Structure 1
């Protein structure tokens, strides 16, 4: 009698185990391009793309949870970022063409802003601004030189930030020119929906740019 009860109890437990869903803990999800990336599967997704999950910067708890990204979208954005070079060198000299813009003495001293945007031709560009002082068709000093990064692509899952910047500008050739020199390090990030961000690439951009007083300043006589 005891053996029969024990057998019935074991059979009942087995039946319940077959009916109840198996815990997903420890299971590997079958990924497809349409799989939505979530906090639960993000490590598996990143590993499948060849990215170390430990590099992921998790989003703040208050971040927008409505941002959805699929495995296919992440893979496409990752391929785009990996096409960026690791080092870029830009050198642009000023032209020596003189302008015919003669100015009255009232405009012969003042502040002149100089602008330059790189023509890298990739997913981002760098925009430089230089604030200079001038007097009688000569650059006399530079007040400030700054740089910012411009996101050129339409991909919602890529973003770019400046990691390091060394930007300087000074008058040269007795005030006939202003020369900008810059070394900027740009980090390229992959946005993993509302889960977080992960750095994919680092690009170092060395820039040398000249402006000529004869083309940028009022010509005072």
Structure 2
């Protein structure tokens, strides 16, 4: 089996340039293959294009050139609706800020992606959301609102929400950036466990050297390009 056929995600010469009188290239000619069940951390100096690359890998931004193959499908020709459907069905996102809806319970926050995708029957959505919260040690908080729990707990809820639709790939942008050291270790251990259990593939952007060291592979980006 070739490396590409075994890969979940293949980026080929991805470039993203912001047009203007003085164009700015955020990502330059990046080729990268990520295997199913791999934990990859993207590191590099501030402003090196790490988050820009993650947004391309997560189909949140379109490349100026190059292509991205996800789960065997070339996404280059996808329209906006197809991109949105693919993100919802195959990808899970965790950001530095949790983006939980403050007026909803934790249970409802986790169930939201299931409701949007509508792949799971309505009667099974709340039980799955509760199961995910339980897995992350939050079952006793299911009916609380985000403001009633700690920052580390809110980030665990965000991970539960990212897992709601059983994604093939979780993309995390500085998931421990706003957390204390104990909560950071907890989040790192959870993501590691998800990979080790065979549930998913994880790609993270991080400034945390200890976090990056726990990945299977570390990719370094400098000035928008992969470092040798």
TM range (shorter): under 0.3
If you compute each CA radius of gyration, which structure gives the higher value, 1 or 2? 1
More helix by share: 2
Which has the larger strand fraction? 1
Q: TM-score, normalised by structure 2?
A: 0.23
**Highest RCO, 1 vs 2 (Cα 8 Å, sep ≥ 6):** 2
